[in-house]
Amino acid sequence: MKVLVRTLSVLIVLACAYIWVNILLSPVDMGAQLGLTADTPLGLGSIRADAGGIFFITMVLTSLGLINKGNHWFGAAATVMLGAAIGRITGVIVEGYNEAAIMPLGAELVLVAILFAAYKKA
């Protein structure tokens, strides 16, 4: 189980790195995929900073957990993703059900589960 969780953690690092780099280099395209639009430099910067920041910090914390074999790093990464999931759940409660939000919410909850498992197994 420990090997599976660590392997999945490596995949999380790679996926977050891929998304983060794409957000930095193509914020308009990645923003559109995430349902964000930016018509101004401030909007583009916000996509890079806020959306990119979530993936960057998740990548760094998960990497530190893999390198240092410290479970607290995985717990911190799980908390970041949990914050994103709470934001999506809040959106569903406030704005109502939106089918487009279900896939990203599911992905965030899966990441939380994997990172929490890594936290418990590290």
- Which tens digits make up the pLDDT trace of 67-120? 997 889 999 999 999 999 999 999 999 999 988 889 999 999 999 999 999 999
**What's the pLDDT score for residue 122?**
62
Give 36's DSSP letter: -
d(CA 76, CA 72): 6
**Residues of the domain holding 78:** 2-121
Question: b/e for 109-121, b at 16 or more Cβ within 10 A?
Answer: bebbebbbbbbee
The pTM (predicted TM-score) of the whole model is 0.89
The structural domain count of the chain equals: 1
Cβ neighbourhood burial of 30 (10 Å; 0-12, 13-18, 19+): buried
**What's the pLDDT score for residue 100?**
86
Report which of residues 88 and 36 the model is more confident about. Answer: 88
Asked if 47 and 27 count as a contact pair (C-beta separation under 8 A), the reply is yes
